[in-house]
């Protein structure tokens, strides 16, 4: 069980001429065993923050730590990520079994481990199938199984339900909640949908133009938003509900 | 491959390539003796019944020599191509393997090399590697390499940016394995196509080197050398030069055309919609329901052997309407859209009582003129909608040239104009780029731009944003909305995401198991939905009042299998309100106060369900 911490993290893209600061001095702590929801509009820098945490984009400043130590980049990876789009996050030319097995650490019985993981995400008997043979929801379950293959303690979920049929979105959210409780995972849950974030998170952080503008317990943030952007977000989400 | 062979040009090219390869294998076995037989009594003769292409300065039969030379010529071309591809792959994948800094140096070097004409490069290398077969091989191989390296590099960069590569790296998969398992298999197709074209070029280039005396040296001979020898006596008997010349041109062209035919088969067909599905007309029963309608669909069904995934869909649209179709995957949304655009492929059968667009009967094949001009289609995956081997500008301008007979320059000018209209920055440069140099959002814009090459009255957009990052989703939706506002273009938007449809459309059609089960104004979706399936779809999306301690409502069971539908209402196995009648009788879609619903219990209030 580990704590994920961002200290003064900045990410800049481009060179001299046109520089974009996608993430701007973010301090954020995801306490061990809890779910922090990160919400914000498209382009506010949520995905970039996530990709920076797992080393897919370089940091311009600051550091990301797990229990105070840098995130390991070789050997066992205690920090894993699930992507938005289950259509592009699985290699179309590899079977489900091979995709998951690849992420299972060496020295484990891979077959047995893959079977265990597929059972965990409620997808038994699909080992020899290709992604094209699965529905979007099933693919996202495979992606979750792959992320769990390295037995991570911390998971980053970036918009994992926004590419799914609404009828399946609920089932995937329920699965994430169950897994978090049974495996005692630390989760940074990213979504542009405040209602979805509210449903899964213990605390909510709001991102706007690369900065965290508000962070607190879910009920407090929703009942008494401090930042003007949070208020706007809340108003537009409530307008949508029945 | 089957598709390639079906076009006359593709079949001819494939046939010629096969003959050339066969000759390369067999000719030296069969005719080496005939080709080497010296006959001092028959020196430098013209064509005759004994010697079809005459004889050379030692009286050897030139026709047989050309046939026998096939092996060496083809062998050298293929070896040079293999060398070029291998070096190109190494250079092109180096940035991925070596990391950013070393990668940049290599990429810059490749870019410089690409700027030189291939033949110049080959001559330069020929001087470096020396005269002879090996020297020529190395020269042409290395001359091909930069082009391949650049292609590989851009293709690899495209795939390396995809999430499955990122996921594999996060999972700790090594770089080499990422390259061989994840990247190369997914870029192989265009690389093979280009290698085939390159083989044709290598053949021509080698002939050139040998002709200049820099390639194959006596006593060996390839077509280039035979050509050089024949040219010495061109005024006496031209057939000695003609025979090897024809061989070079035919074989080179065959490889080139074969490669391009494959490229077309891979990319273009889907877009231009070589729809060959049969169309059965049903007798007209009802009179025209609404004469001001631009698109009228009445009792539309789409069937495949064993199943009917679309069953009796009826709706109509006026100019400037925005109608959304929602439903789970497999509910028949896309097939409905494809049927409207007449793009359902064999063995699908489309039936309808009426299917008219702007007054034209789509069932009568009057659609060809309209498709690509008045009716535009945008697909989910913009990568597979473009031909990977053609520049974007050319693909757009072909639409105008094909449909309106515009000349090349005017069509290209319009293409650039439309790329600007979909708000791509620097459209002139973009028009010269290949699809893989575009991001997903840019490709989707270009796809919409292609739809705007004509003057569309209707844009059918099938999940246009599903494959895109949410950052880009909204921009694409806004683009569609602004096109609609500017030119009164109607939009038929298909999406699994009920909130997207709610934002963009005026009316929502909800589909389940191939039928419209509810049709209502988008503004009333959350308050006025009456079908249990529509309500369940809405309830499955959490809102700000959802109880956080309870699991979310999910629609139990699986979506109906169109091949195996229950006798009554298709939703009955998953419906909380289902009763005996539902299990036996399928409810009709009934109109009531501007909305339509198909349910026996449409009047039961929502609270009873949840
Ligand atoms: N590779 C990149 N190069 C340049 N700009 C980028 C890149 N990736 C993201 N950005 C920009 O960074 C900002 C944040 O993007 P992103 O992290 O994807 O936001 P979110 O996930 O909140 O939608 C956006 O303005 C986006 O255009
Ligand atoms: S007809 Fe019956 S089973 Fe079908 S949706 Fe209505 S109540 Fe449910
Ligand atoms: Mg994002």
| Strands B295-304 vs B354-357: parallel, antiparallel or unpaired | antiparallel
Mean pLDDT of B30-45: 83
pLDDT for the residue B279: 39
Which among B568, B128, B490 has a CA at the least distance from the CA of B294?
B490
Calculate what percentage of chain B has a pLDDT beyond 90.
Answer: 21
| Strands B322-326 vs B507-512: parallel, antiparallel or unpaired | parallel
**pLDDT of B383 higher than 60:** no
Residue B367's pLDDT band, with cuts at 50, 70 and 90, is low
B501 within a domain of the structure (yes/no) = no
Residue B472's pLDDT band, with cuts at 50, 70 and 90, is low
Q: Residue B204 phi/psi, 5° resolution?
A: -65, -45
pLDDT for the residue A214: 94
**pLDDT of B80 higher than 90:** yes
B63 within a domain of the structure (yes/no) = no
**pLDDT of A115 higher than 90:** yes
The string of DSSP letters for A49-62 reads HHHHHTTSS--SEE
- B19-23, B109-113, B391-395 — which one is most confidently predicted on average? B19-23
Separation of alpha carbons B155 and B146, rounded Å: 14
B403 within a domain of the structure (yes/no) = no
Partner residue opposite B171 with nearest CB, options A77, A159, A238: A77
Residue A59's pLDDT band, with cuts at 50, 70 and 90, is very high
Average pLDDT, chain B: 82
Judge contact between B542 and A195, C-beta under 8 A.
yes
**pLDDT of B264 higher than 80:** no
Per the CB < 8 Å rule, is B542 touching A170? yes
Q: Which of A:98-157 have CB within 8 Å of B?
A: 99, 102-103, 105, 135-136, 143, 146-147, 149-150
Mean pLDDT of B93-110: 84
Calculate what percentage of chain B has a pLDDT beyond 70.
Answer: 90
Q: Using CB atoms within 10 A of its CB, is residue B57 exposed (0-12), middle (13-18) or buried (19+)?
A: exposed
Query: What's the domain range around B96?
Result: 72-268
As for how many domains chain B has, the answer is: 2
Which among A190, A201, A3 has a CA at the least distance from the CA of A82?
A190
**pLDDT of B120 higher than 50:** yes
**pLDDT of B113 higher than 90:** no
In this structure, the residues whose C-beta lies within 6 A of any atom of ligand 1 are A 13-14, 20, 22, 40, 42-48; B 470-471
Instruction: Please identify, among B268, B302, B328, the residue that sits at the C-terminal boundary of a domain.
Output: B268
**pLDDT of A123 higher than 90:** no
Mean pLDDT of A206-233: 91
B199 within a domain of the structure (yes/no) = yes
Inform me whether the C-beta atom of residue A87 falls under 8 Å from chain B C-beta atoms: yes
Question: What is the distance of C-alpha B306 from the center of its chain?
Answer: 28
Structure tokens at B314: 């009826």
B594 within a domain of the structure (yes/no) = yes
Query: pLDDT (tens digit, 9 = 90+) per residue, B397-426?
Result: 877 777 777 888 888 988 998 888 888 888
Residue B287's pLDDT band, with cuts at 50, 70 and 90, is very low
B117 within a domain of the structure (yes/no) = yes
Structure tokens at A164: 């799914």
Beta-carbon contacts below 8 Å between A and B: 153
Mutating to test ligand 1, I would choose from A12, A41, A43, A190 the residue with most ligand atoms within 8 A of its C-beta, which is A43
B395 within a domain of the structure (yes/no) = no
- Listed by start position, the domains of chain A span 1-78+154-161+185-242
Please tell me the distance between residue B604's alpha carbon and the centre of ligand 2 in angstroms: 11
The string of DSSP letters for B418-464 reads HHHHTT-SSHHHHHTS-GGGS-HHHHHHHHHHHHTTS--SEEEEEST
Fold of A1-78+154-161+185-242: Rossmann fold (3.40.50)
**pLDDT of B234 higher than 80:** no
Q: Which atom of ligand 2 is nearest to the CA of B582?
A: 2
Per the CB < 8 Å rule, is B166 touching A51? yes
**pLDDT of B470 higher than 70:** no
Nearest CA to ligand 1 atom 25: A43
Per the CB < 8 Å rule, is A91 touching B186? yes
Q: From the CA of A209, how many Å to the nearest CA of chain B? A: 13
Do you know the residue count of chain B? 610
Separation of alpha carbons B200 and B211, rounded Å: 17
Mean pLDDT of B210-214: 86
Q: From the CA of A129, how many Å to the nearest CA of chain B? A: 17
Separation of alpha carbons A197 and A199, rounded Å: 5
Separation of alpha carbons B103 and B146, rounded Å: 14
A 10 A CB-CB count for A124 gives 10
pTM for this structure?
0.70
pLDDT for the residue B387: 73
Q: How far is CA A62 from CA A26, A49, A184, A215, in A?
A: 8, 12, 28, 19
Instruction: Please identify, among B232, B252, B268, the residue that sits at the C-terminal boundary of a domain.
Output: B268
Instruction: Please identify, among B241, B268, B295, the residue that sits at the C-terminal boundary of a domain.
Output: B268
**pLDDT of A242 higher than 60:** no
B556 within a domain of the structure (yes/no) = yes
Inform me whether the C-beta atom of residue A217 falls under 8 Å from chain B C-beta atoms: no
Question: The CATH number of the domain where B139 resides is what?
Answer: 1.10.3720.10
Question: Chain B: residue nearest A89 by CA?
Answer: B164
Helices marked H in B467-592 — which ranges?
A: 470-487, 498-504, 525-528, 532-539, 580-584
**pLDDT of A241 higher than 50:** no
Partner residue opposite A146 with nearest CB, options B167, B181, B526: B167
């Amino acid at each position: 069980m580990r704590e994920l911490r961002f200290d003064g993290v900045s990410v800049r893209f481009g060179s001299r001429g046109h520089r974009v600061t996608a993430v701007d001095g973010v301090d954020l702590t995801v306490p061990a065993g809890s779910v922090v929801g990160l919400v914000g509009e498209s382009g506010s820098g949520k995905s970039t923050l996530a990709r920076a945490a797992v080393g897919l984009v370089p940091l311009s400043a600051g550091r990301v730590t797990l229990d105070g130590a840098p995130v390991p980049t070789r050997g066992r990876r205690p920090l894993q990520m699930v992507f938005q789009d289950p259509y592009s996050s699985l290699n179309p030319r590899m079977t489900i079994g091979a995709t998951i097995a690849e992420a299972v650490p060496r020295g484990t019985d891979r077959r047995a481990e893959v079977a265990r993981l597929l059972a965990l995400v409620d997808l038994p008997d699909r080992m020899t199938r290709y992604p094209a043979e699965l529905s979007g929801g099933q693919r996202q379950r495979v992606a979750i199984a792959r992320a769990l293959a390295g037995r991570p303690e911390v998971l980053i979920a970036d918009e994992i339900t926004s590419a799914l049929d609404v009828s399946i979105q609920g089932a995937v959210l329920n699965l994430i909640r169950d897994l978090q409780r049974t495996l005692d995972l630390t989760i940074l849950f990213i979504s542009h949908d405040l209602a979805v974030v509210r449903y899964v998170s213990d605390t909510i952080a709001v991102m706007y133009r690369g900065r965290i503008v508000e962070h607190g317990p879910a009920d407090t943030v929703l009942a008494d938003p401090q930042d003007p952007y949070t208020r706007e977000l809340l108003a537009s989400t409530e307008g949508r509900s029945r | 491959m089957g598709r390639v062979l079906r076009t006359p040009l593709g079949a001819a090219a494939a046939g010629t390539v096969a003959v050339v390869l066969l000759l390369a294998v067999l000719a030296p076995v069969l005719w080496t003796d005939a080709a080497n037989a010296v006959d001092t009594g028959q020196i430098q003769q013209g064509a005759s019944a004994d010697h079809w292409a005459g004889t050379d300065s030692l009286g050897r039969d030139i026709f047989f020599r050309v046939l026998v030379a096939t092996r060496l010529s083809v062998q050298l071309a293929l070896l040079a191509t293999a060398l070029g591809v291998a070096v190109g792959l190494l250079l092109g994948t180096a940035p991925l393997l070596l990391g950013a800094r070393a990668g940049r140096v290599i990429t810059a070097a490749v870019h410089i090399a690409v700027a030189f004409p291939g033949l110049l490069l080959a001559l330069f290398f020929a001087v470096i590697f020396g005269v002879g077969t090996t020297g020529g091989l190395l020269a042409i191989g290395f001359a091909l390499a930069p082009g391949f390296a650049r292609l590989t590099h851009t293709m690899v960069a495209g795939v390396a940016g995809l999430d499955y590569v990122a996921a594999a790296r996060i999972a700790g998969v090594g770089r080499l394995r990422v390259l061989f398992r994840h990247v190369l298999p997914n870029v192989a197709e265009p690389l093979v196509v280009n290698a085939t074209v390159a083989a044709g070029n290598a053949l021509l280039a080698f002939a050139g080197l040998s002709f200049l005396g820099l390639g194959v040296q006596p006593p060996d001979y390839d077509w280039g050398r035979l050509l050089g020898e024949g040219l010495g006596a061109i005024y006496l008997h031209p057939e000695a030069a003609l025979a090897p010349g024809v061989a070079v041109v035919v074989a080179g062209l065959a490889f080139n055309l074969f490669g391009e035919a494959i490229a077309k088969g891979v990319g273009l067909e889907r877009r231009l919609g070589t729809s060959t599905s049969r169309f059965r007309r049903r007798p007209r029963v009802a009179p025209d329901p609404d004469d001001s309608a631009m698109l009228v669909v009445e009792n539309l069904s789409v069937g495949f052997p064993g199943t009917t995934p679309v069953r009796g869909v009826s709706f109509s649209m006026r100019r400037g309407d925005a109608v959304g179709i929602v439903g789970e995957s497999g509910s028949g949304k896309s097939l409905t859209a494809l049927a409207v655009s007449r793009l359902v492929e064999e063995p699908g059968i489309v039936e309808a009582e009426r299917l008219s667009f702007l007054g034209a009967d789509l069932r009568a094949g009057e659609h060809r003129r309209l498709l690509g001009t008045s009716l535009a289609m945008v697909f989910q995956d913009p990568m597979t909608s473009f031909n990977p081997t053609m520049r974007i500008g050319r693909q757009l301008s072909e639409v105008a040239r094909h449909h309106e007979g515009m000349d090349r320059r005017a069509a290209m000018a319009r293409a650039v104009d439309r790329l600007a209209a979909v708000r791509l920055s620097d459209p002139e440069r973009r028009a010269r780029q290949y699809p893989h140099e575009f991001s997903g959002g840019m490709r989707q814009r270009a796809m919409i731009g292609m739809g705007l090459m004509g003057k569309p009255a209707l844009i059918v957009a099938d999940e246009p944003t599903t494959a895109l990052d949410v950052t880009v989703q909204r921009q694409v939706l806004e683009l569609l909305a602004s096109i609609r506002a500017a030119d009164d273009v109607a939009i038929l938007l298909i999406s699994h995401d009920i909130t997207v449809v709610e934002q963009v459309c005026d009316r929502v059609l909800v589909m389940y198991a191939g039928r419209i089960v509810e049709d209502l104004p988008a503004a009333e979706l959350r308050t006025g939905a009456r079908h249990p399936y529509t309500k369940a779809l809405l309830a499955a999306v959490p809102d700000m009042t959802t109880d956080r301690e309870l699991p979310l409502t999910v629609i139990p069971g699986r979506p109906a299998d169109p091949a195996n539908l229950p006798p009554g209402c298709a939703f009955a196995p998953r419906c909380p309100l289902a009763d005996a009648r539902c299990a036996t009788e399928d409810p009709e879609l009934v109109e009531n106060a501007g909305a339509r619903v198909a349910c026996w219990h449409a009047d039961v209030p929502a609270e009873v369900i949840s």
